[in-house]
Structure 1
Amino acid sequence: MEFLSHRQPPEDWIPYIDGWVGEMRFRNFSQATIQAWWYRVSAFALYINAEKKDPLSITRHDIIERMSREVSVSTKRCEFNALRSFYAYMFSNHLIPENPMDGLPTIKRVKKRQAPAQTQNVQKGLEIADEDTKLMIELAVELGLRRNEIASIYLPNDLIEDLMGYSLIVHGKGRKDRIIPLTASIAHTLTHRNPGWCFPSMYNASKHIHPDTVYRRIKDTVKESTHSLRRKFATDLYRATGGDLRVVQESLGHESLATTQLYISISTQDMRNAIDKLERFHELQARQYR
């Protein structure tokens, strides 16, 4: 059985899910992906268990019905990808005669700019947060960390000290690490925490907290999502650096500048400042030809 600190799937699903997880480990999937996909398939199994269905009797209709509920697009995409991987494993190992995921259209990613967290909400949250939640908020809004990156900080291994100060090794998506310089305040907090997981699981101290728990604690305190704090970080860093997209891209750990641009919110005041600068530029240009 995998991930014993979490709610387990029905017994008749466990051997199949464990075999699938073993194959993902063999294929060198990241631990974050394995855990996220295990969680989604287990949730599907618990949902479908009300109909007393085992993984061998799932139909295309069962999956469509599950995918039709009112949840975020990102949640749907994660669950769809997890189920597609699970049933590809089942079919390739001749455990089922047909793959119920075959022919299902992929769930389109919604690529639109979403608003960053509001500063007043962040400040209010920081004022009322407990010590751990306050640090989670700071890691998201001051360093731009994702929920799983916050959850997986291990001390002191993930800290680097040089003549310029402390930096953090951030374990990003797809085993892609990046190094983020720390603010003096966060560096002081992290260097004074106990060795081991920065945020250990309350059920098993040898494991870190689940990323969804990070999300809930931030959401309950700030009334904003973890990713909206990440967007605020991106927007603030973009303005602070005079529009240096490459710095923002590297800080967020994005492969594509196009993705980074979706994180940056341009306000009416930003546009006004840009037009004012252009007007002054045109005035200087005109003087040169008088």
Structure 2
Amino acid sequence: MAKQTQINAPEPWRESIKQYLSYLRAAGQSDDTRSTRRCQLSKLARDLGGDPMTVSAAELLRWYADQDWREETRKSARAAVRKYFEWLQTHQGRPDNPADGLPSIRPPKPHPRPCPEEYIAAAKARANDIDRLMIRLMAEVGLRRQEVCKIHSNDIIDPPASSDGIEHMPRLVVHGKGSKQRILPIPLDIAERIKESNGYLFPGRFGGHASSSYIGKHVSRLLPDGWSGHKLRTRWATRGYEATHDIYLVSAGLGHASIETTMAYVPMPDSRLEELIKAAR
């Protein structure tokens, strides 16, 4: 289990946030989700001060408008604040939810940007053995950094028996978002490395597994500015779609709940676009 980090917020917010995080844990929310909510609500508390039971809608709107955030960050913060005050209203006796009036955010659909192959090759060449393994798990298996950090030697499943003369790959049990699991084929050499770890593949300093931020920092520092582990995952999705032309298969491999989410990861291959133009001529 992930180590609980101290809540950096003034009283009486601190105790209120602590109780709310306990509520989220009872509701089955993952460690990663609770950690994100802790950071978001702690910032809210430090910026506003006072008492969460008396924060007004006008104060909350001013705070929200003053933040210099990207659309995705703004959307996530809005959801966190609304749910927190909803809990205060339902369970702590607050008479209203001041976050109800916060404007909704519809983030623009990003153009997928898979990490170029030359950047990946250069990163692997510079990386040590451990960091190279992180890169491969993202670029060749399509894992999130939150999934990479949780890999354990018990997660490897031996290859299924061959009935057609084809050698099959081992399987990896992936611990995905929202405590959802999926099973993916994995290169044999990576599977052997995971088995040899006899525990977490990337152990934490004080027990358990390493944090997702630790994985992200190690990968990002090996890539050019503006590129991250997320773009390695996009590369995996792009290559997979180019090979199979099956968006449903790619979506299942990424662990997405909807095809719409997957579409943000997969650019239409140039060759298919050329076919479209040629057909129209």
Asked whether the equivalents of residues 231 and 263 of structure 1 are also in contact (C-alpha less than 8 Å), the reply is yes
Distance 1:7 1:268 in 2: 49
Q: How high is the sequence identity, in percent, across the aligned residues? A: 27
2:194 to 181, 190, 196: 190
- How far residue 100 of structure 1 moved from its aligned partner, in angstroms, is 2.4
Distance 1:3 1:72 in 2: 29
Q: Secondary structure of the residue that 1:174 maps to in structure 2? A: helix
Which position in structure 2 is the counterpart of 1:233?
236
Which position in structure 2 is the counterpart of 1:177?
181
1:244 and 2:254 equivalent? no
Q: Secondary structure of the residue that 2:158 maps to in structure 1? A: strand
Structure 2 unaligned regions, length at least 5? 161-167
Distance 2:41 2:132 in 1: 32
Write the mapping of 1:97-246 to structure 2, written as runs, cut at 5 A. Answer: 97-153=95-151, 155-163=152-160, 164-195=168-199, 197-202=200-205, 204-206=206-208, 208-223=209-224, 224-241=227-244, 243-246=245-248
- How far residue 167 of structure 1 moved from its aligned partner, in angstroms, is 1.1
Structure 1 unaligned regions, length at least 5? 283-290
Write the mapping of 1:13-52 to structure 2, written as runs, cut at 5 A. Answer: 13-46=13-46, 48=47, 52=49
Letter of the structure 2 residue corresponding to residue 217 of structure 1: H
Asked whether the equivalents of residues 220 and 229 of structure 2 are also in contact (C-alpha less than 8 Å), the reply is yes
Distance 1:131 1:75 in 2: 33
1:73 and 2:77 equivalent? no
Instruction: After superposition, give the CA deviation of every residue in 1:161-214 in whole Å (9 maximum; x if it has no partner).
Output: 13334211112222221101101232132122241x332333x213x3332332
Aligned length: 269
Which position in structure 1 is the counterpart of 2:262?
260
Instruction: After superposition, give the CA deviation of every residue in 1:37-69 in whole Å (9 maximum; x if it has no partner).
Output: 2232234334x2xx6444345444345434643
- How far residue 19 of structure 1 moved from its aligned partner, in angstroms, is 0.9
Runs of 4+ aligned residues of structure 1 deviating over 4 Å after TM superposition are 273-276
Instruction: After superposition, give the CA deviation of every residue in 1:201-237 in whole Å (9 maximum; x if it has no partner).
Output: 33x213x333233222222221312221111100011
Asked whether the equivalents of residues 37 and 78 of structure 1 are also in contact (C-alpha less than 8 Å), the reply is no
Distance 2:31 2:256 in 1: 19
Distance 2:141 2:18 in 1: 35
- How far residue 273 of structure 1 moved from its aligned partner, in angstroms, is 5.8
